[in-house]
Amino acid sequence: MQQPSLDRIETFLRDLQDRICDALEVADGVAKFREDHWERPGGGGGRTRMMADGALIERGGVNFSKVNGDQLPLSATAHRPELAGQSFTALGVSLVLHPRNPYVPIVHMNYRFFSAGSVWWFGGGADLTPTYGFAEDAQHFHRALEAACGRHDPSFYPRFKAWCDDYFTIKHRQEMRGVGGIFFDDLSGDANFLQAFWEDVANSFLDSYLPIATRRRDLPYGEREQQFQLLRRGRYVEFNLVYDRGTLFGLQSGGRTESILMSLPPLAAWVYDWQGEAGSPEARLKEDFLTPRDWA
């Protein structure tokens, strides 16, 4: 099976990080990214970019990493046990944005490539986590992803949307983390075809998210909305620390902890036995948005 070019993948991911960071700085209008270069003991390293205290983004990170090692960590071999003990190379760009305004949704994006011996695969996706749900925002986000998938294989979007709905579920809460998006892993086969698809969906990120952020960033809000935002951020923390495969892989592979945990919000809250007021926007989030729906 033809192997994708690691040089091409690395060039694409570094450029993707540059383009997204440039666009986010323009959109925010106040904050700039801080850049840290780091090296991983055992092989590889990365380029972490963090933004904080902006007009749009309260905290956000856009990370590039390329790591290699003599043995895949448990998080990678749990679903591919035949690769236990193999040396590996992993490249990716991971992004999480925690907006200032509670009406602007949290967004997560990750696109990655793994190679272990003669085996390789693409993975990735993007998903949206609103504090307050708007159907038109969920529709816009999903339709952008559907269009990018459809340019390559019409079966990809429904398949990867369902995978995302299942993956980004907080099982101990019996609710989805947000309104989903797409998620895929272990994608191998025709290298040129799959890389073209993978690059296209990664490139669709700015068009899928920035119009939503622009539409919601100036909506007025008060203490009630801020407190609910902290509660929903708490749910986000629970998922990332308990279930997220990327977080587990980063920690188990000896990656830079500060870069891995950039996905966590600056502030979060947990309220004992929280129950939303019936019919309120807060209660409707779970009722109307945190179960699988055909948004596209």
- Reply yes or no on whether 108 is catalytic: yes
The verdict on residue 271 lying in a domain is yes
Contact present, 62 and 34 (Cβ < 8 Å): no
Residue 93 parent element (H or E)? strand 88-99
37, 79, 98, 108: the active-site residue: 108
- Please report whether residue 296 resides in a domain: no
The answer to whether position 1 is within a domain reads no
**Tens of pLDDT, residue by residue, the chain (296 residues):** 578 999 999 999 999 999 999 999 999 999 999 999 988 877 788 999 999 999 999 999 999 999 887 766 665 555 666 766 677 899 999 999 999 999 999 999 999 999 887 889 999 999 999 999 999 999 999 999 999 999 999 999 999 999 999 999 999 999 999 999 999 999 999 999 999 999 999 999 999 999 999 999 999 999 999 999 999 999 999 998 998 877 877 777 777 788 778 889 999 999 998 888 888 999 999 999 999 999 99
Kindly state whether residue 27 falls inside one of the protein's structural domains. yes
Supply the CATH number for residue 40's domain: 3.40.1500.10
101 domain-assigned: yes
Total structural domains within the chain: 1
Establish if 295 belongs to a structural domain.
no
Contact 145, 126 (CB under 8 A): yes
Residue 294 lies in a domain: no
For 248, the domain range is: 6-289
Q: What is the pTM of this model?
A: 0.92
How far, in Å, CA of 30 to CA of 294, rounded? 36
- For residue 63, tell me if it sits in a domain: yes
